[in-house]
Structure 1
């Protein structure tokens, strides 16, 4: 069965988000002229300009960066973007927690503090884990996403979330447990 594409003006690319912006008259006029010079619509010009700027926009411009990780939105786009909201929040929480909204901070705190969502190892009776892109167990976040959001919004109590459990009973050395 063929998918019918509605006829009309505009791009054939599927657009899913509409953004309204306010421009002062001068900037609006100059944007219109710049778009004309490239034989584009104003919205197409703005979209292309944003895409260009995102490639060079520094993510953590307020943070001292002593490491050589990519630090622009363009360089980290493959990590930051995901079709599922849960995975976008996890990546943002690890890569740039200062950009989390207040509501996202509540959800992130629940994930960050709960060893069930992280790979680690038992050290005695304590589950030792670190916060990193390699240590998060993303499937567990997805599995418990609705409860995480409900707890963060005060709709459920925190005891609905899983815990890391108990250390294995017979152990003489520290064992790494990936899941």
Structure 2
């Protein structure tokens, strides 16, 4: 059986290119030698440690509070981009970029993404005036939804998404 090349199928890792002060880069190299870790391992460990020290605004059951990012990250993370997006919107809405806000607002005003009799994958939470979001429909039309948002980014109002069926 042939193996997938790195650019085919799902990736297990992502590439990150950083610009940093040479002094900091050398510091990371020393840490990696002392710990007998790769530079990637040192950076990953530092990020994970920072996540538990970093408080973020977090919404749960409609209540906003502050929690350590490392403690709530698993509530948000998903390998599915649409699921990750919905989780992020639900739990950390104040951290959305303008483009993410437009997609989220498009989801909220588009009936195709609202709970219906045929919905099978609903959110555990609901949005005032909207109800629960049909995660299955968002997943099905994710790429079309993102493209719709890009095409309508110049509109002064959010344009509802209509499913192509």
Residues 96 and 53 of structure 1: is their aligned pair in 2 closer, same or farther, counting only changes over 3 Å?
Answer: same
Residues 42 and 159 of structure 1: is their aligned pair in 2 closer, same or farther, counting only changes over 3 Å?
Answer: closer
For structure 2, the residue ranges without an aligned partner over 5 or more in a row are 5-10, 117-124, 153-157
TM-score, normalisation: structure 2: 0.66
* Alignment partner of 1:36 is 2:21: no
How far apart in 1 are the matches of 2:101 and 2:64? 26
- Name whichever structure is richer in strand by fraction: 2
Runs of 4+ that moved beyond 4 A: 1-4, 66-70, 157-160
How far apart in 2 are the matches of 1:90 and 1:160? 16
Q: How much is the aligned-residue C-alpha RMSD, in angstroms?
A: 3.6
Residue pair 1:117, 1:138 contacting (<8 A) in 2 also: yes
Computing the radius of gyration from Cα coordinates, the structure with the larger value is: 1
Pick from 122, 137, 141 the counterpart of residue 140 of structure 1: 137
User: Which residue of structure 2 aligns with residue 53 of structure 1?
Assistant: 50
TM-score, normalisation: structure 1: 0.62
Residue pair 1:35, 1:41 contacting (<8 A) in 2 also: yes
* Alignment partner of 1:161 is 2:158: no
